[in-house]
Structure 1
Amino acid sequence: MTTTALIPRRHPDTPRRVPAGVATFARLLRIEPPTSAEFDRLGEALCEGDPPMDEVVEAMSADGIATMRPVFEHALAHGIANTPDAPDYLVSFFEVVEATPEWVDHARIAHAAQAMNASGADGLFVARDVSLIGGYAFSGFNQTLLRTGALEKGSNTRFAETSQWALDVISDGGLELFGVGYRSTLRVRFIHSLVRRHLLAADDWDVAELGLPINQTDMAATLVGSLVAPSLGGIGIGIVHTPAEYGAIGQLTRYVGWLMGVDDEFLPTGFVDAVRLLHHTSAALSTPDETSPILARPMINDPLTWSYSRLPAIRRRIARSQHLSISTYFLGRSAMSRLGLPTDTLPWYPPLRFPINAARSALALLPGGRARASTRGRRSQLRIMRVMESRPVTIGDTTHLASHTA
């Protein structure tokens, strides 16, 4: 699904103010703002979808999603060559997806996953309290979320789903062919296409105003926002990687984006290029509106529902203050105000954790230190996932199209 060179009205006339943290790193890395041509291209890409997957979903819908979904899942897990009676459109799609690009270096991807696991629970907290909450200022995203059940299903479950996808991606061997991260990423891509098809058929979706749902610009921004922004933000809380690890994170992000259906022109070529993409898409998309507080405010009290095994009432209130403090520290009070969030919270948690994380980052440089840090961090990530969501997380459950994705 792609339209011709239309730039929808949601695209601003000039670049918007980039979040302070992103702007700071861009200056340090000597990243220039988008040129006029680059900025216009981001506007055009708001009307470009994912034709290979959109064609698959169209054909599956004609054959019956309920009938064809098990065939799709079998190909995900076992390969298209081992999937009997797969229709030609699935064969064509999976032959491309399974032909891993030559530039993919699985050793570097494993290196990146190890570093990202070593970020531990604090890495997840930065993803939640900075990337996700701050992302609600990108109001173009919000139109899709609000129409696919984000309020009904709840912000806590949505973040748990996003986190489960990320943890699948950075699991041991997760991005090998048919690995859990490979499968989860292609499932997300499938769900994106279902959502795109559904919303375009709705009477209230205005392409001239909004572009396509889950378009190339939005997907590129979400890719680097999910996988690169937390690594940048982690520096502010003492989580520091080596230059080689940051480079490997860029490689992992590129491959995940390729699997997700992001066009080559929006795939980062390395970590610095990923920061450039984050900076440029932020300049095009950072336009808060009345939907921003609608989606951000429910996250304030999500920690009050978390399942702590000991002293739950006290720990829930501490967690609420903790997560507001992280948002305040990184986003600043003016951004908190625009998002409809409290502006009187002291940013106490990041300074408290900084020396602990910095010491752990230094210890990880010792022989075997990164492997130990990765194991410890992975345990803490899985533990906080159980605290946030006591039931198993199903990717796609926060959209009312979940019945099509089961």
Structure 2
Amino acid sequence: MPHRHAPPTDIPRRHGIDRERSRAIAAPIRRTIQGDPEPTPECWQAIGHALMQGDTRMDDVVAWLYDDATAQNRRQKRALFQAALDNGLDTLEQPPPCLRTLFAHVDHRPAWVDDALLERGARVSQRSSMTGLHILRDVALMGGYQASAINKTLVATGSLKRGAQRRLAETTAWWLDCTGIGALDRFGVGFRNTLQVRFIHALIRRSVQQNPAWSNRDWGLPVNQADMASTQLGFSVIFLLGTRVLGVPISSVDGHAVMHLWRFIGWLMGVDERWLAKSEQDGRRLLYALLLAHAPPDESSRQLGRALMNEPLARPYPNFARLRARYIQARANSLTRLFVGRRGMHDLGLPAWMPPWYPVLAAPRNFMCHTATRLLPGGLRRAERAGRQAQLDQLQALFPDRTPGIHRPVLS
């Protein structure tokens, strides 16, 4: 590896490079934490090292994939990985050691996994309907673009050129796959597609580090443990906080189920167990500490923020296209404004003057509708079915020509 890359034990320069700015970005999370949320020196150092740690099991699979010079052999090896994923390792006659190691790990669930909690977490996700998707898009994803070091990986992989609509559609499709009932069973679609995403992350780590413009010493390892953990917490901690702010009542038991669901998904994704929160309070504390380690917003934040802001303008609409596109754009901006504030809007290239009008209107309506649902016999199940259908319809609106799958890069 060229000398520009630091040894894995080093801590990159981005770690806490502007803690005051990061602390301001993390302020909404801090206000929900009981007690002192500041990380201990031991935790802070561990986060620094996690910025240089990848996913050894899947990284070994990718290294095996590329240890042969011919593209044909790489495609054959890729087919072996796919066969083990889709049909089980036992279907391969002589699987290589790296595949045996990976699937011996993921095929044996941790003792803490509770199927009842996984199902309950999935049902809560479905019941959140479009409110849940709005939070994931306009708060977790958009707000996450304030972390410029993570953005550099997206820019290096050409994500800007691929377009915000495709990125959003693929992420939405994966989330829907993971939040189906039974989706995380061994051969469920959520299980298999999460392993596909994990494989792509390992390909990205390999590819980006070969880019002469990339510096581990400055930005850490691409798709590292700390960044994977903070992203995973967006799907759980931010999702729960945001949907509640928008008036969706989620009990502490339901919140625990959502945390459990994403704890298991994070484990499948290759996140070390020390970075997988067991409870909402643990998750908030961990997310706050991880946010302090992020580099502050830069031009990449504005590039990605504007691209996502303008994504509704590219959607096809059956009628009143311009009016509907502008409304969806304004609705998203108003929701983002509530959580990131005026300065965050400026950093993301969004209109800072936008007031948070949509949350003010949506929260009372959501609360009344969801409360009424709970009082009616069979109301929760009907809400789950209706919510999931609304989420599927949204995916179709994002990608009308076909249902997006997990993007599989061509091996060359």
**For the superposition of Structure 1 and Structure 2, which TM-score range results when normalised by the shorter chain?**
over 0.9
Tell whether the 8 Å contact from 1:251 to 1:271 is kept in structure 2 after alignment. no
TM-score, structure 1 as length reference: 0.93
Residue range with higher mean Cα deviation, 362-371 or 201-210: 362-371
Give distance in 1, aligned partners of 2:273 and 2:7: 18
1:108 aligns with 2:113: no
Q: Which residue of 2 aligns with 1:212?
A: 221
Q: Which residue of 2 aligns with 1:382?
A: 392
Q: Which residue of 2 aligns with 1:8?
A: 12
One-letter amino acid of the structure 2 residue matched with residue 55 of structure 1: D
Q: Which residue of 2 aligns with 1:61?
A: 66
Deviations 1:185-243 (A, max 9, x none): 11110000001011122222211111111111111111101333122111111122111
Give distance in 2, aligned partners of 1:83 and 1:234: 44
Tell whether the 8 Å contact from 1:186 to 1:260 is kept in structure 2 after alignment. yes
1:23 aligns with 2:30: yes
Give distance in 2, aligned partners of 1:155 and 1:359: 33
Identity of aligned residues (%): 37
Unmatched segments (≥5 aa) in structure 1: none
Which of 43, 47, 52 pairs up with 1:42? 47
Q: Which residue of 2 aligns with 1:369?
A: 379
TM-score, structure 2 as length reference: 0.92
Q: Which residue of 1 aligns with 2:89?
A: 80
Tell whether the 8 Å contact from 2:306 to 2:348 is kept in structure 1 after alignment. yes
Give distance in 2, aligned partners of 1:384 and 1:353: 18
Which of 379, 400, 403 pairs up with 1:392? 403
Secondary structure of the corresponding residue to residue 403 of structure 1: coil
Q: Which residue of 1 aligns with 2:335?
A: 326
1:135 aligns with 2:144: yes
Task: Report the alpha carbon displacement of residue 284 of structure 1 after superposing the two structures with TM.
Answer: 1.4
Q: Which residue of 1 aligns with 2:169?
A: 160
Tell whether the 8 Å contact from 2:122 to 2:258 is kept in structure 1 after alignment. yes
Task: Report the alpha carbon displacement of residue 4 of structure 1 after superposing the two structures with TM.
Answer: 3.9
Tell whether the 8 Å contact from 1:5 to 1:44 is kept in structure 2 after alignment. yes
Matches within 5 A, 1:258-273: 258-273=267-282
Task: Report the alpha carbon displacement of residue 121 of structure 1 after superposing the two structures with TM.
Answer: 1.1
Task: Report the alpha carbon displacement of residue 94 of structure 1 after superposing the two structures with TM.
Answer: 0.6
Q: Which residue of 1 aligns with 2:57?
A: 52
Residue range with higher mean Cα deviation, 300-309 or 183-192: 300-309
Give distance in 1, aligned partners of 2:137 and 2:379: 27
Tell whether the 8 Å contact from 2:118 to 2:257 is kept in structure 1 after alignment. yes
Q: Which residue of 2 aligns with 1:181?
A: 190
Give distance in 2, aligned partners of 1:345 and 1:33: 32
Give distance in 1, aligned partners of 2:35 and 2:318: 47
Q: Which residue of 2 aligns with 1:294?
A: 303
Computed over aligned residues only, the root mean square deviation of the Cα atoms, in angstroms, reads 1.9
Unmatched segments (≥5 aa) in structure 2: none
Which of 269, 273, 278 pairs up with 2:287? 278
Size of the alignment, in residue pairs? Answer: 399
Q: Which residue of 1 aligns with 2:252?
A: 243
